[in-house]
Chains A and B, each alone.
Chain A
Amino acid sequence: MKVALFLPCYVDQFYPQVGIATLQLLNKLGVEVEYPLQQTCCGQPMANSGFEHLTPDCNSLFIKNFKDFDYIVCPSGSCTLHIKDHLHDETQENEATNIRKKIYELTEFLTDVLHVKNLTASFPHKVGLHQSCHGQRGLHLSQMTELTAAPFSKPEKLLRMVNGLTLVDLNRKDECCGFGGTFCVTEEAVSVKMGKDRITDHVQNDAEFITGGDMSCLMHLEGILRRQKSKVKVKHIAEILNSVKS
């Protein structure tokens, strides 16, 4: 199978270690992955700001980069959801539709396509899982507390395969962290307050690390943690699932 790695633009630029961990993890699981070199962004920053009409160029570039693969894997629920919900192209709608069907967020690719049952990873720490809203409510990577429905969680299932890792329980299991794309600067006060409250929940429950499937949430939380000079660190779930005994 031909698998492409799609990285969010800000991960490529600021968090290369997340891309590296994703690539290495998939390799370990026997998947050959290619990183199309001309990729940029899913277009969400424009679309969520109300400028979806400016995304056609981004969309056709995305299609050009990714149309020839069987699967596209992305270590971000948010970017994956954006492609799934909004990738269209008048001149090549068939290709766009195909891509919308074959793009997977990393954890769902591991649980639903690769059917991963165990991992060699080791991460002897107390970890809190921050569910990104787009991954959870958008892609249904885990059950949502608002619904009357049976619980499940794809990221949690994977984290439980990691040696030594203890998942901490949170008081609010799936509250938004307040990143929200441009919301984080246009609504700075509320955004930061939401982030601080998420952090407090993790800290009160003794998390040493906050992990999650979206580096954007974690970048926002990390910015606050570092300003607070907190000892708590953030780590993308790919880094934890790829970690080895040190």
Chain B
Amino acid sequence: MKSHSELAEKFNADEARVDWHDETLWWVRTKRDRMSHALPEWEQLRETASQIKNNVLSNLNEYLIRFEANASANGMIVHWAADAQEHNEIVLSLIKQQGVTQMVKSKSMLTEECHLNEYLEQNGIDVVDSDLGERVVQLAKEPPSHIVLPCIHKKKEEIGELFHEHLGTPKGNADPQFLTHAARLHLREKFLTRKVALTGVNFAIAETGEFVVCTNEGNADMGAHLAEVHIASMGIEKIIPQRKHLGVFLRILARSATGQPVTTYSSHFKKPREGKAIHIILVDNGRSVHLGRPDFRNALKCIRCGACMNTCPVYRRSGGHSYHTAIAGPIGSILAPNLDMKKYADLPFASTLCGSCSNVCPVKIDIHDQLYKWRQVIVKEGNVNTEKSVGVKAMSSVLSSPATYRASGKIGRWIMKHFPFVVNNKFNPWYKQREMPVPPKESFRDWYLKNKKA
């Protein structure tokens, strides 16, 4: 498994592409700024959203039980899944019950987290992702690189190539409108013929047993309304207490995500139509464990807007795939170690701790503070290489002893001055693209001792 820094270095081999990726996402961040700055009550909305979510996390069990009761009373069928495996098995069994081998699916980061597509494929089910960006990465056999903009790493020419290969569009045509129309025709056939449709869930309301799915393309609705069976997969943290709270969340979600006032479609599902069925799968998959980590639990407030990715200077210059997890960027880096600390030990270090992520977060998750705290946990649990461990220990003993510190500084400066090749070589990552500082003849302390007034 390659680490974030290795994958990021690969991504940076094509600097023009990095510039394009950075500019594209910065443009989204700018749109978000324009929208949020236009609302004088923006910071109040963030605070309110944060407090509602805090309340949810403190009373999650009660809200879930209430939601289950109300959703069931509405005629929907509620399933509980302890982990990804259970979730995937439930989905497969529901598909099999219908006697079909095909399913259409709108965007759901939870199913990415559960690797549902791979599981269903292995079990002979053909899954079509109906979100345009998701369809693009599915055709390219890649995971999404961004939770809101799944194929943001792809240029339109590359999408034209993919569509030519898979959908038979003319070679060399990269006109976005033309390609979108081709995708529309391609997907329409899927919508009309699939009996089972899966959607994600943005908000589930405990008070009413309803849930809300937000999309810009209407693809969740097309899938759900045309199928016999609608499966809605949701992480247990997606609960909100009351319907009125949507007034806060729907206002902040799209503004934070793409700089739109609201998603084009915010579809409310309450009960199945005559003869149809709605199944809701409530998935834990590590969330209860996360809830039990006091320093990290509030990461579960996340509403998956992706604002932290768009603003992250590292994400913009390393690409979503460099995070080697379903949810990339700053939020992914504080969620992933909870699932597998060893595998994702590199992610909390893939940050300069600049803090921009915490500032854009619409539910005020202290993302950069959690990155710092994960670093401490990861090192304490032994997920650190010996080289680094030895290095930091040596540094710590030097910096704890004034005399050793001064001697080391003096020797270091002397070596840099007289034998610069000792530091100016390919083994020094600093020197690869940067000059080393010019060593001065004396330290500040030396100067101070000579010059301070008696």
Contacts and interface: CB of A to CB of B under 8 A. Distances in A.
B4 A187 contact: yes
Interface in A173-219: 174-176, 178-195, 197, 219
Contacts of A39: 402
Interface string A148-170: 11000000000000000000000
Interface in B311-342: 311, 313-314, 317-318
Interface string A219-231: 1101110110000
Interface in B1-18: 4-5, 8-9, 11-12, 15, 18
B379 A148 contact: no
A51 B392 contact: yes
Contact of B372 (A16, A48, A133): A48
Contacts of B379: 49-51, 53
15 contacts: A12-B444, A13-B413, A16-B440, A40-B401, A53-B380, A146-B360, A147-B43, A180-B353, A184-B430, A186-B349, A188-B430, A190-B12, A194-B314, A195-B434, A223-B437
A35 B405 contact: no
Nearest to B379: A50
Contacts of A55: 396
B277 interface: no
Interface in A52-88: 52-55, 57-58, 61
B395 interface: yes
A183 B430 contact: no
B399 A58 contact: yes
B355 A133 contact: yes
A7 interface: yes
Interface stretch (B32-40, B51-59, B280-288): B32-40
A239 to B, nearest CB: 13
Contacts of A185: 429-430
A11 interface: yes
Contacts of B5: 186-190
Contacts of B358: 137
Interface string A3-23: 000010101111111111001
B267 interface: no
Interface size class of B (residues with CB under 8 A): 35 or more
B314 A187 contact: yes
Nearest to A23: B448
B436 A223 contact: yes
A17 B397 CA distance: 27
Nearest to A197: B22
Top 7 nearest A-B pairs (CB, nearest first) are A180-B352, A223-B434, A50-B379, A57-B400, A146-B359, A50-B375, A19-B444
A28 interface: no
B378 A50 contact: yes
A94 interface: no
B445 interface: yes
